[in-house]
Amino acid sequence: MTTFTQIPDGEAPSIDVSLKRIVSDINPMMYGGFLEHMGRCIYGGVYDPDNKHSAIDENGFRTDVIDAFKELQIPVIRYPGGNFVATYHWEDGVGPRGQRPRRWDPAWKAEESNEFGTDEFMKFCEVVGTEPYLALNMGTGTLDEALNWLEYCNSDRNTYYANLRRKNGREKPYNVKYWALGNETWGPWQVEEDTKENYAKRAKQWAKALKLADPRIELILCGKNGHDDWDRYVLQECVDLVDMHSIHLYTYSHDFKENVTAPLSAERAIQITASLSELALINNPTGGWRSNDYSPPASPPKICFDEWNVYDDQQAPGDQGGEQAYNLSDALGVAVWLNVFIRQSKHIAMANIAQSVNVLGPLSTRKDGGPGLIRQTLWWPLLLFSKYMRGKTLNVHLRASTYNGSTFPSWIRKTTPTPWLDVSCAYDEVSGFVNLAVVNIDDTQDITVDLGLQETLPAGLTTDKQQEVQVFTVGGGEIDVKTTNFDGVERVGVVESTWIAGPKYTFPKHSLTLLRWSVKA
C-alpha cells in the first residue's frame, strides 16, 4: 500500500517508510508461473526429449529451464491453459506415449501430440519443487470428465481413475490443491463462450460436485478483468463455493509512459474486485449449499491474478507462438505490475505471470534448440522481486508530482494519479531486511528524493554510524527504453552497488531501483 500526496512540479519529492506501518502479508504464491500448450512453451520450452544440443534430463526436461525456474522460486504453476484448455481432454495425455492421440487445437491452430500430459506436468512440478494448479475444461469438457481428472490426481481409493493413475506408474495421489473452473469462458475467442448467467449456474454445480469429491481442494472461479459485470455476477452467485476469484489482464503500449503506467489499471481492477467479492459475501450472509465436509469461506474470496503480463499481441500473435522481444520499457512495466501486487498484497492469494517460458516469456530457449537460455528484460525485475520482495507489505508515503499525459487505457487518467515514481516496500522479518522498490517512470530525467528511512534503521543508529544499503538497478542512464536482450546479448540486466544511507537518493531516469537494508544493528 502506498499513500500519496501530489506536489507541484519542481518541489522535492519524498518517500517515507516506517516499520510501524506493516500493512499485510505478501503471499509467496504471488510469484506463480504458467505453462500452456501453446507455441514453444511446453514443447521446446520445458520438454524437449530429442534435443541433442542442450542438457536434457531422464524425463525429457531441459535442465537449464528447471534451474531457471528454481532460481525464480516459482511456487505454483498453472497448466494446461489458457485458451488451450477449452477443448483439452486430459485422458488424451496419459498412458503409454505411443498410444496417445494427436489432436487439433483450435485455440492456437496447432497439432497437439499429447506427449506431455498430466503425469509429465506433475513430474516437472516435483523436479522444480513447485505446486501444480490445474485448469478444468469448461468449454467442450463435461463435469464427469473434470471429476475423473480430480479422481486421477487426488484419490487413494480403489476406483477406476485412481487405479488408472497407478497403472500409469504413480501409486500415491498427487493431491493437487488448486483447480480453476474454466478459463476466460466469457471470451468471444473461446470454444463454448458462455454467458455470465449460464457460467455461474454451471460453476456452482461443478464446484459443489468437485468439493463433494475432494473437500480439500481450492477452487478458482473464472472472473474477467475485475471491473466487469461478469465479475460482480459470478461472484454473487458462487461466493460460498469458491476460494479465489481469477482475473486476467495484459497491458501494453508502444509509448513508454503509457506502457509503464498501464499496470495501474490492474491496481484499480484489484481494488474493485476486492469490493465485489466483499459485496457478494455481504449479500449472501448465510451462504447457499452446505456439506458436513466443506465449510464455505469465512472471508471474501481473494484474487487469483492467474494471467498477467506486458503483451503486444500485434508483435507476437498467439497463433504464431506469442514470442515477444521484450525491451526495457516492458521490463519497467513488469516492475510496476509487481509493485502493484506488493501494494495490494492483502487482496492477492495467487498471481501467475503468463507465461513462464518462450510464450510471452521472461525466459526464452533458442529456436535451434541450442544450449543457454535468453534472459529477456522481464526476467530481471521478476528475479529481484521474487528474491527480495517477500514477507510483509510496508506502507510507504510518497510525495511526488505526476505525469499528466495520456494513459492506456484512458480511464486510468480519470481514476487514479500517476506519480513519476512508482513505489512499493516489503519487510522480510525472516532476514530482517527492508526492500524498497522504486520505478522512475520518467524517461527524460533522474529524480532526487528525500528519503525518510529513519524508522526502519537499526535502533540506536546515529548520524555518525554508517548504514550500508544494497542497490540493484535495472535500466537507467544511457540504456534506451527500446533495448532488448532477445538476440541473446544481455544488454539489460541488474547492476549491483552499495550506498551509504543518506537523506537523499537519486533514482535514474527509466529505471527500477531496489534498495535493501538491514533493520538489525
Between residues 34 and 380, which has the closer beta carbon with respect to ligand AHR? 34
DSSP secondary structure string for all residues of 99-118: GPPPEEETTTTEEE---S-H
Taking the complex as a whole, how short is the minimal distance between the CB of residue 383 and ligand AHR, in angstroms?
21
Catalytic residue among 112, 237, 307, 323: 307
Residues binding ligand AHR (CB under 6 A): 36, 81-83, 183-184, 307, 318, 354-355
Taking the complex as a whole, how short is the minimal distance between the CB of residue 180 and ligand AHR, in angstroms?
10
Catalytic residue among 120, 184, 258, 323: 184
Taking the complex as a whole, how short is the minimal distance between the CB of residue 38 and ligand AHR, in angstroms?
6
Taking the complex as a whole, how short is the minimal distance between the CB of residue 519 and ligand AHR, in angstroms?
39
Contact 112, 137 (CB under 8 A): no
End-to-end CA separation in angstroms for the chain? 27
Residues 115 and 51: their CA atoms lie apart, in Å, by 15
Contact 43, 116 (CB under 8 A): yes
The CB density around residue 429, as the number of other CB atoms within 10 Å, is 12
Task: Give the nearest residue (CB) to ligand AHR.
Answer: 82
Between residues 124 and 308, which has the closer beta carbon with respect to ligand AHR? 308
Residues near 309 by Cβ (< 8 Å), separated by ≥ 6? 250, 251, 334, 337, 353, 354, 355, 360, 378
Residues near 505 by Cβ (< 8 Å), separated by ≥ 6? 448, 449, 451, 499, 513, 515
Between residues 247 and 335, which has the closer beta carbon with respect to ligand AHR? 247
Residues near 302 by Cβ (< 8 Å), separated by ≥ 6? 244, 245, 274, 277, 347, 348, 349
Between residues 84 and 161, which has the closer beta carbon with respect to ligand AHR? 84
**What type of residue is 338?**
L
Minimal CA–CA distance to 333: which of 516, 73, 512, 72? 512
The CB density around residue 264, as the number of other CB atoms within 10 Å, is 24
Taking the complex as a whole, how short is the minimal distance between the CB of residue 309 and ligand AHR, in angstroms?
8
Known catalytic residue at 307: yes
Between residues 184 and 422, which has the closer beta carbon with respect to ligand AHR? 184
Minimal CA–CA distance to 398: which of 360, 435, 437? 437
Burial 278-305 (b: 16+ CB within 10 A, else e): bebbeebeeeeeeeeebebbeebbbbbb
Residues 327 and 254: their CA atoms lie apart, in Å, by 11
Taking the complex as a whole, how short is the minimal distance between the CB of residue 412 and ligand AHR, in angstroms?
21
Omega of the bond prior to 372 within 30 degrees of 0, cis?
no
Taking the complex as a whole, how short is the minimal distance between the CB of residue 139 and ligand AHR, in angstroms?
11
Q: How far is CA 416 from CA 78, 229, 261, 443, in A?
A: 31, 21, 10, 21
3-class SS string, 278-331: HHHHHHCCCCCCCCCCCCCCCCCCEEEEEEEEECCCCCCCHHHCCCCCCEHHHH
Element (H, E) at 70: helix 63-71
Between residues 81 and 391, which has the closer beta carbon with respect to ligand AHR? 81
**What type of residue is 171?**
E
Taking the complex as a whole, how short is the minimal distance between the CB of residue 319 and ligand AHR, in angstroms?
11
Residues 483 and 467: their CA atoms lie apart, in Å, by 34
Minimal CA–CA distance to 509: which of 257, 327, 277, 313? 257
**What type of residue is 248?**
H
In the three-class reduction of DSSP (H, G, I as helix; E, B as strand; rest coil), residue 460 is classed as coil
Known catalytic residue at 11: no
What are the residue numbers of the active site? 184, 307
